[in-house]
Structure 1
Amino acid sequence: MRVLIERTVDAAVPADRLWSYVTDWPRQGEWVPHTRVELVDPADPAHAVGGRIRAWSGLGPIGFWDTMTITGWREHGDGGGRCEVLHTGAVVRGEGEFVVEATGPSSSRFIWKEMAVLPLGRLGALGWRVVHTPVERLIDRGLDTMRRQVENTAH
């Protein structure tokens, strides 16, 4: 079973600043709860199709690697862009997407989409019914943290 997770947050910064912030992979640990992001291979392109990144999600030594390959990369004329990834790990599978759109000269919108493949068949689908609201709230808290961080670093 596949599920769509889509969350959005508006920020009072130009699109280019927001795009630069959300695609600074190591900085995602500042706003994605309980996650550390890094390049799989520093020789890979960090901001282009074929780049590989991985995210450790968990608490201390208990967690998992979410491995991803960048499958789409477009920068928009308004300063925003779109990054598409394929999740290739043992736990998280499916497609993900970050989009930044300009909503004005000093404002922008960040859209996070995941088309996740739930593990464990019917048991996974039942589990998703239980955890989807807390997962969405956790993501929303992370996006609010990201918004505050990027707005507070704006010049």
Structure 2
Amino acid sequence: MRAVIRREVALDVPADVAWAYVTDWPRQGEWVPFTRVEHVDPADPAAGVGGRLRAWSGLGPVGFWDPMTITSWERRADGGGRCEVLHTGKVVRGEGEFEVVAEGDGRSRFLWAELAVVPFGAVGAVAFRLLRPLLERVIDGGLATLKERVESG
């Protein structure tokens, strides 16, 4: 089963400020719940196609690595941009993307989407359907934290 989750948040900062914050991979741990992001190769800033990252998702030592490769990277003259990644781990597989859209007057919008292959067959599909509202609430909480942090500078 493949599942799509899309969430977004309005930001009272210019698009270039939002883009700089969301593409500062290690800082994603400040706003992505239960996640720590790092570069696979410390010499690679992962700021373009082919960049590699990995995220530890979990609580303390209980969790899993989510390796990903940037497959699309688009910057716009208005400060916004779009990034797509391919998740290649054992637990999280599929595509992810986020976009920062300039909205004028020093405002922007952050959009996040995941097209994931739900693991564990039929059992995973049922579990995902049951847990989806909770997962969306957790993501929305992370986006609220993103908004608070990026707007406070």
TM range (shorter): over 0.9
Dislocated runs of 4+, deviation >3 Å = none
Give the match's secondary structure for 2:119. Answer: coil
Q: Does 1:127 align with 2:127?
A: yes
Distance 1:112 1:14 in 2: 17
Q: Structure 1: which 5+ residue stretches go unaligned?
A: none
State TM-score, norm by structure 1: 0.97
- Structure 2 unaligned blocks of 5 or more: none
Equivalent residue, structure 1, for 2:57: 57
1:1-150 to 2 correspondences below 5 Å = 1-150=1-150
- CA deviation string 1:19-62 (max 9, x = no partner): 00000000001000111100001233410100000000111100
TM-score by length of 2: 0.98
SS class of match (1:136): helix
Query: 3-state SS of the aligned residue for 2:74?
Result: strand
SS of 2:43's equivalent in the other structure is coil
User: Identity, % of aligned pairs?
Assistant: 65
Three-state SS of the structure 2 residue aligned to 1:78 is coil
Contact 1:44-1:50 at 8 Å conserved across structures: no
Distance 1:119 1:35 in 2: 19
**Amino acid of the residue matched to residue 89 of structure 2?**
G
